[in-house]
Amino acid sequence: MRAATASTVAVMTTGLARRTVLAAGRPAPHGPKLPGVRKSPLSTDETPTPWDDVTSYNNFYEFAGSDNKDLPSELAPANLVTKPWNVVVEGACKRTGTYSLERVLDGQTLEERIYRHRCVEGWSMVIPWVGLPLADFIARCQPTANARYIAFDSHYDRTRMPRSRRLPFDWPYTEGLRMDEAMHPLTILAVGLYGETLPHQNGAPIRLVVPWKYGFKSIKSIVRLSFLENQPVGTYQQQEPPSYGFYANVNPAVDHPLWSQATERRIGDFFRRDTSLFNGYGNHVASLYAGMDLMKDY
């Protein structure tokens, strides 16, 4: 087991891992259905976690710090301004520039992807996302041969996210993937939930979803994509490298220094259940990591 550190993320998430009750956040109001959403064979047939839980029990540290699941649903709707929204594309690709959200979505057929969602803190949900394959957008950006990784930045507004200052993070929140992970068919840019527009607390208007990795890789409210030659360092990894590696693949055999990852609490369940390697998506993604030592490259 890796050595325990006393750094911020670990200490502040210890209590969360043991939480059994839902925080009383404010579930998002329902809106109109997104048009033309297609079902996907990549969806699980497990029962989705209810809308009210998915939209009131959230991690969005910019709004809440790390210890409060209910505050994102209370603060994000008023303080996250999603219109207009632009995503800057930069680095090793031919089509750099500023893409409006409308341009990102132009000509795309949205798909429903019902995925398991496993937080590093030890809770999980089943979420019916709506989105588009990240691979489709990457193809439009035309990465060059130098693009081996892709990094993402979240939107950050210090004045509208005052609680973020309680954390010693180097904002904005950032994350990264290897290009083959980013191009994998399971990896999506989500713009909706339950067939409706993505609520602010869930990372509106556009976020990443990588279902075989711990939830912190699924960065919210994306404003920048950078194609890189070298491996980027994400916010969690930068904050506490011994606990959070670059890959962050769900792995019940690799404990967090302060808690076991062998089991998880599905929100709504009383008993914990076993956690599966790659969050149960091993038949799709294990080959991406062939030859790697998953106990070291976590």
Name the residues that contact ligand MTE, by CB under 6 A.
58-62, 119, 154, 173, 202-203, 215-216, 218-221
Q: What is the DSSP string of the chain?
A: -PPP---HHHHHHHHHHT--S-----PPPP-PBPTTPBP-TTS--SPPPPHHHHTTS---HHHH-SS-SSHHHHHHHHH---SS-EEEEEESBS--EEEEHHHHHTTPPPEEEEEEEE-TTSEEEEEEEEEEEHHHHHHHH-B-TT--EEEEEE---TTT-GGGGGS---SSPEEEEEHHHHTSTT-EEEEEETTEEPPGGGTSS-EEE-TTB-GGGS--SEEEEEEESS----HHHHH-TTT--SS-B--TTS-BTTB--SEEEETT-SS-EEPPGGGGTHHHHGGGGTT--TTT--
Q: Minimum CB separation from ligand MTE for residue 64, in Å?
A: 8
User: Which residue, 154 or 239, is less far from ligand MTE as judged by CB?
Assistant: 154
User: Which residue, 163 or 272, is less far from ligand MTE as judged by CB?
Assistant: 163
Q: Minimum CB separation from ligand MTE for residue 142, in Å?
A: 27
User: Which residue, 228 or 250, is less far from ligand MTE as judged by CB?
Assistant: 250
User: Which residue, 61 or 149, is less far from ligand MTE as judged by CB?
Assistant: 61
Q: Minimum CB separation from ligand MTE for residue 167, in Å?
A: 9
Instruction: Select the residue whose beta carbon is closest to ligand MTE and give its number.
Output: 215
Q: Minimum CB separation from ligand MTE for residue 144, in Å?
A: 27
Q: Minimum CB separation from ligand MTE for residue 127, in Å?
A: 7
Q: Minimum CB separation from ligand MTE for residue 121, in Å?
A: 7
User: Which residue, 201 or 285, is less far from ligand MTE as judged by CB?
Assistant: 201
User: Which residue, 143 or 215, is less far from ligand MTE as judged by CB?
Assistant: 215
